[in-house]
Amino acid sequence: MTGSSSPAPESTTGPVTAMGVPIKGSRPVRPALIITVFCLGLFMTLLDITIVNIAIPDLVTELDATLETVLWVGSAYSLVYAVVLITAGRLGDIVGPRQMFLAGMALFTIASLASGLSQSPSQLIAFRALQGLGAAMLAPQGLPIITSTLPPEKRGPAFAATGIMSGLGVLLGPTLGGFIVTHFGWRWIFFLNIPIGILTVALALAYMPDIRPGLRHRLDLPGVGLMSLGLLGVVFGLIEGQRYDWGTIAGPIWIPLVIVLGAVFLGLFLWRQVRLQSAEPLLPFQIFRDRTFTVMTLVLLAMGFAMVGIFLPMTIYYQSVLGLTAVAAGVVIGTQSLAMMVTSGIVGGAAGSGRINMKWVLFGGLLLFAAGVVYVIVVAGPDSSRWTFVPGLVASGLGLGCVWTPLFGLATRDMDPSRAGVAAGVLDTLQEFGSVLATAVLGAVLANRLTDALVSQAAVAAAGLPDGARSAFLDGMAQAGSGGIQVGAGQAGEFTLPADVPATVAEQIRAAAEHTFAAGFTDAMKPTMVVPVVVILAAAVAVLFVRSVRPATETAVVEPAEGLR
């Protein structure tokens, strides 16, 4: 399926977009409606990620599954999503972003129905994987749609809209999920997608034009196979590493071997792409010749790492240390999402004016995001009030609102629409890979630091207990620490005490255990969260290498057709 010659340009006769990109058919281009349809689909996929986490306890009970099995409900989605993104973006360049968006949206909706009807954990995991496939098919299509229909100076509001939808998905997920699970059951978190999916498909059929970016591409099937195997090995190893204690999975198969094999396949993929650059590669290195795009890929990788690296420990902290319900924790986090939505709209409008250099908006946004997180780290304590964190969350949210619009605006500023699909796949893949990397690395760091912190805190707390209770207390805390981190307010009390321990002493031990876990987790969380802050600051430094203005030699790449100037 690989070609030996350069791809042939499609005919430019007939209707074209404002960027001179051909359109198949006579459907008029209405950018506001197009972006609205895409944002609706994006919102559904983002909402589904955050809303499912709320249902984990109910899934364990109703499907008679272990916690490890149910965690694959999320892992299966993430694994398939990360592996397919680049290929889906390239297919968008070949068949058109509209076709891929419609196919992905339809698959996601059907998989949502099947997920809601699942009768066993294995069925639910399989259908969640299909949801991940559908999401991966539609997610990279936004960039080629935006870059093909809007000139660079008018893309700010479009990227702001996607940022607002992202914030809305994060904001509504925990709250809406808690309400649905409480009143209707976990199956309705999937059934909710069906009317939204049907509406999105209908609107896409009516308003989304069939944009053809201008080159007839061919799909490098061997490259798809090598890249998929490579990403599968590396991402699976990172997701499952901590669960298997970075050791044996079964027989001779162990986590480091899976990761190494994945890296080998990725190396073979890159070697093949080097050989195919003069023909038709799956990953054209030409997209990395734009220094601004390359820097933005690194910033997006850092943001994927930072978002998970910050919110993973904070989510556990809210529920396991402060004892908040998932809904209450979602309300607190929602202050950040609301702040992000506000600044996303303001920055989107400013970007559309063309009077503000988005490089410095992004730089400032990253610094403000880091400052807000530092505030949260400083004020976090074993018995902090939930509202103590609001100033830091608002500051970090304001910073995030200054990140996403400039980031994607700069990444696409000089982008050739004919390469936008694969470029979007690269961006989305690196962001997802950053998230997976943070989950694996910082999850392991947090767990290890928690074990050490519990030992030291337990030794201090044991001094205040009766002589005969100290041994039982220390043994119980060791047992609680060896079981890994669990989200929920009762972890510290899950260890068992000998039957002959008097009730009054048992109550003392449990009170000491709760304080020990709260103090131990806080001690472990703070240095762990410093790592993503350092990563954010490194991303801010990288932004300084972005060109402030578009090179005149590259302007022709994105100029509209003569008749549309």
Identify whether residues 407 and 528 lie together within a single domain.
yes
Identify whether residues 366 and 229 lie together within a single domain.
no
Domains held by the chain: number: 3
Identify whether residues 434 and 334 lie together within a single domain.
yes
Quote the pLDDT of residue 75: 80
Identify whether residues 175 and 115 lie together within a single domain.
yes
Identify whether residues 186 and 46 lie together within a single domain.
yes
561, part of any domain: no
Domain boundary among 218, 248, 267: 218
68, part of any domain: yes
Domain boundary among 163, 196, 218: 218
Quote the pLDDT of residue 498: 58
Quote the pLDDT of residue 478: 65
Identify whether residues 174 and 209 lie together within a single domain.
yes
Identify whether residues 269 and 305 lie together within a single domain.
no
Phi, psi of 278 (to 5 degrees): -85, -5
8, part of any domain: no
336, part of any domain: yes
Measured in whole angstroms, the distance separating CA 200 from the mean position of its chain's CA atoms is 22
Domain boundary among 218, 243, 269: 218
Quote the pLDDT of residue 375: 96
Cβ-in-10-Å burial (0-12, 13-18, 19+) of 160 comes to: buried
Identify whether residues 263 and 299 lie together within a single domain.
no
H/E stretch holding 264 reads helix 255-276
Residues spanned by the domain of 205: 16-218
Identify whether residues 179 and 225 lie together within a single domain.
no
Identify whether residues 58 and 47 lie together within a single domain.
yes
Query: What is the reported pTM?
Result: 0.81
547, part of any domain: yes
Quote the pLDDT of residue 57: 67
Quote the pLDDT of residue 10: 47
Measured in whole angstroms, the distance separating CA 162 from the mean position of its chain's CA atoms is 14
CATH number of the domain where residue 537 is located: 1.20.1250
Identify whether residues 429 and 519 lie together within a single domain.
yes
DSSP assignment of 149-180 equals HS-GGG-HHHHHHHHHHHHHHHHHHHHHHHHH
442, part of any domain: yes
CATH number of the domain where residue 113 is located: 1.20.1250.20
84, part of any domain: yes
Identify whether residues 253 and 206 lie together within a single domain.
no
3, part of any domain: no
Q: pLDDT tens digits, the chain, 565 residues: what are they?
A: 444 444 444 444 567 765 666 777 666 778 788 888 888 888 888 777 767 766 776 777 788 777 667 778 878 888 898 889 888 888 888 888 889 999 999 999 999 999 999 988 889 999 999 999 999 999 888 888 888 888 777 777 788 777 777 767 666 776 777 778 778 888 888 998 899 999 999 999 988 888 776 556 677 888 889 999 999 898 888 888 877 878 888 878 888 899 999 999 999 999 999 988 887 788 888 888 888 999 999 999 999 899 888 887 887 888 778 888 767 777 888 888 888 888 888 888 777 666 778 899 999 999 999 999 999 999 999 888 889 999 999 999 999 989 988 888 888 877 777 777 788 888 888 888 888 888 888 877 887 788 778 778 877 777 777 776 677 677 666 666 555 555 444 444 455 555 666 667 667 777 777 778 888 889 889 999 999 999 999 999 999 998 776 544 443 333 333 332 2
Virtual torsion, Cα 170, 172, 178, 182, nearest 10 deg? -150
| DSSP character at residue 318 | I
